[in-house]
Amino acid sequence: MPAANPKIPSKSSLRSSSRPVSTIWMFSHECAGIAQAGGLGEAVAGLSKTLALDSKLDVSVFLPSHGRHLDPGIREAYGLQDLPTFIAQGYRRGSNGLWYNYLAGMEKGSREGVNYFLAKGLDSATGKWLDDPVIYDHEATFEKMSLLARTLESYVEYLIAMGRERELPGLIHAHDWHMVPAGVLVKQRLRERGVVVPLVFTVHLLSGVALSWHYASEDWCGIRDAPYSLRTNGKRGSTLRYSQIWRDLSRNSLEKFGCYIADYVTSVSHAYLTNDVRNYVGDIIRGKSGHIYNGCDWNPATIESSIISDEFEETEPSLVDHPIKRWDLREHLLTKAISKIGEKSVAEDPSGHHEDSRREVEPVEAFRSDGPLVLMTGRLSPQKGVDLLLDAVPIVRSVISETKFLLFLLPSNDSDLTKRTLEKAHKYPDNIRVIFGRNPSIYLLSHLSADVYAMPSRSEPFGISALEAMVTGNPVVGTSVGGITETVVDISTSGESGTGILVPPENVAKLADSLVSLLTIMQLDELSQHGKEDRAVASRKIPLPPIAKMIFENRNLGSKLRENCRDRVLKKFRWTNAGQMAIKRYSEARLLAAKTLQK
């Protein structure tokens, strides 16, 4: 308990009850706009914003500061201010038997209807961890998780002691395994005070991380080894201590433990939840699980207007005098714009180093000529399948020699993987550019310029990048795994209402055939808009027979696919859609949590 905080009322002073779901506390290790290393941060920010603005809920996001409260730009953008009357103070007992003091505080700000709380160190020992700018680093990550849990425990006690119970959460939404200790601890403390608050746990990407009970326990993260009544399929089951659930049932897995204690478990797609997550955690989520899609709020018209203003009005004003076509954007991107990437870009560290510590990007050589463009974005990791796309390049190139491949990748800590990737890419200097960095303007321009988007992932919980591709008019060639099967509609089976092609995972030949088929569709459509016909393209053998038939019947199929892509995202995958799904899950969680009051 923080020494400087007022005395906490006894349990009897708080009536045992469940609270309405109008105040949401989001727990996350990262959040776009403040500290982000991947898609998790985008998901938390997008969902929080729509719940606050569209659903009019009181939403607060809690995360470690990662030192971002020291950034003047972030302080101003979020109006960050220190909470002067709040201190989290105490000690943790290590597995070595030594005691470690901590002294933490919080910065509070708000933006676009959402409140943000950043846990920070108030002494050097605590600040060493909470304020470390590296978002993901093995030792620092676990320290941040523990100290955030302790800080939130103290904040709950502080609000109760100050008579500000109305500010307590009506629901806790813990995002990914990093937030299991904080989510369980706050739920436990509130229950001890007679307040039943539903805990929703979202698995964004399975990690399989396992730690000893000591880490979660009252010695370190703060979870008391109290009795807990398990419920299966909504029915009361056995009563076990938290340590038993951790060790015996969860086998030390943070994700399994989170699924046992949470009132409701979600993931970002139905396929990932029912296949990957359930296969890992077992039937413990049966009767208390559902999916909440991610979303994409990109506005293609706004992006295009901004890109034209940034890229063309000064350098090529003659193009602005007539409607700029997609092929104009592509030629400018490939033969001119990408050469500017090294001037303003920074290479983003995969562990999430703050911008000031990022290294500059190597200059990128522009292509000597235009050509049909395949775009890929994402982390350089085996999961994303960059190697599979590079293996498909010579096959595609043998059919459409002028094809360009533009890969925007977040770099990897695996130097061997980086080396192998670059070695493969350098074999085709006329066809491939790999870019470790993300100049925002060029990144968006690439989406407006591409013909096809490649997503050869070996696994994919959801894949926001597919939405970004489709909303900017790019049909997707993606593997039939996880969330990709729910965002991409396969034209091979759905005909002209499709948005791309699904291929079996790790099948390079099918990946290449699908790229050739879609590229041909887009080339024929472009030629038709030009009022031209290229016999070489027109006579090209399409590897996929169903698609060959569609092309024969409709030379403008490419435009139809682009329209389908945009419409699918705009109608089904905006953040407002995700917010509505979340509210439904929250209601289910509240009903399940309320059953804990029943004897």
Taking only the tens place, the pLDDT of each residue in 513-564 is: 999 999 999 999 999 888 877 666 766 778 888 888 888 888 899 999 999 9
Instruction: Say if strands 88-93 and 171-175 run parallel, antiparallel, or are unpaired.
Output: unpaired
Encode 53-93 in three state secondary structure. HCCCCEEEEEEECCCHHHCHHHHHHHCCEECCCCCEEEEEE
Is the confidence at residue 129, as pLDDT, over 90?
A: yes
Residue 421 burial class via C-beta count within 10 angstroms: exposed 0-12, middle 13-18, buried 19 and up? buried
Provide the pLDDT for residue 306: 87
CB-based contact 230:260 (threshold 8 Å): yes
Q: What is the CATH number of domain 11-295+578-597?
A: 3.40.50.2000
- The CA distance from 244 to 251, in Å, is 9
Provide the pLDDT for residue 37: 87
User: In this predicted structure, which of 6-20, 71-85, 284-298, 517-531 has the lowest mean pLDDT?
Assistant: 6-20
Is the confidence at residue 599, as pLDDT, over 80?
A: no
Provide the pLDDT for residue 4: 47
- The CA distance from 27 to 117, in Å, is 10
Q: What is the CATH number of domain 300-573?
A: 3.40.50.2000
Q: How remote is the C-alpha of 294 from its chain's centroid?
A: 8
**In the structure, what pLDDT confidence band is assigned to residue 359 with cuts at 50, 70 and 90?**
very low
Provide the pLDDT for residue 414: 84
Q: For residue 381, which phi and psi values (nearest 5 degrees)?
A: -150, 155
Provide the pLDDT for residue 432: 97
Average pLDDT over residues 58-66: 99
CB-based contact 385:454 (threshold 8 Å): no
Provide the pLDDT for residue 311: 73
Provide the pLDDT for residue 315: 58
Is the confidence at residue 391, as pLDDT, over 50?
A: yes
Provide the pLDDT for residue 132: 97
**Which among 550, 537, 427, 534 is positioned nearest to 493, based on CA atoms?**
550
Enter the tokens of residue 537. 């393209």
Please give the mean pLDDT across all residues of the chain: 91
Number of residues written out for the chain: 599
Average pLDDT over residues 102-119: 99
Average pLDDT over residues 190-207: 96
Count of other CB atoms within 10 angstroms of residue 443: 17
Is the confidence at residue 180, as pLDDT, over 90?
A: yes
Enter the tokens of residue 95. 């597995």
Provide the pLDDT for residue 269: 98
- The CA distance from 132 to 353, in Å, is 9
Provide the pLDDT for residue 12: 45
Common-topology check for domains 11-295+578-597 and 300-573 = yes
**Boundaries of every domain in the chain:** 11-295+578-597, 300-573
CB-based contact 99:220 (threshold 8 Å): no
Provide the pLDDT for residue 358: 45
CB-based contact 200:262 (threshold 8 Å): yes
Count of other CB atoms within 10 angstroms of residue 287: 14
Is the confidence at residue 425, as pLDDT, over 90?
A: yes
Provide the pLDDT for residue 344: 53
Average pLDDT over residues 151-163: 97
Provide the pLDDT for residue 546: 84
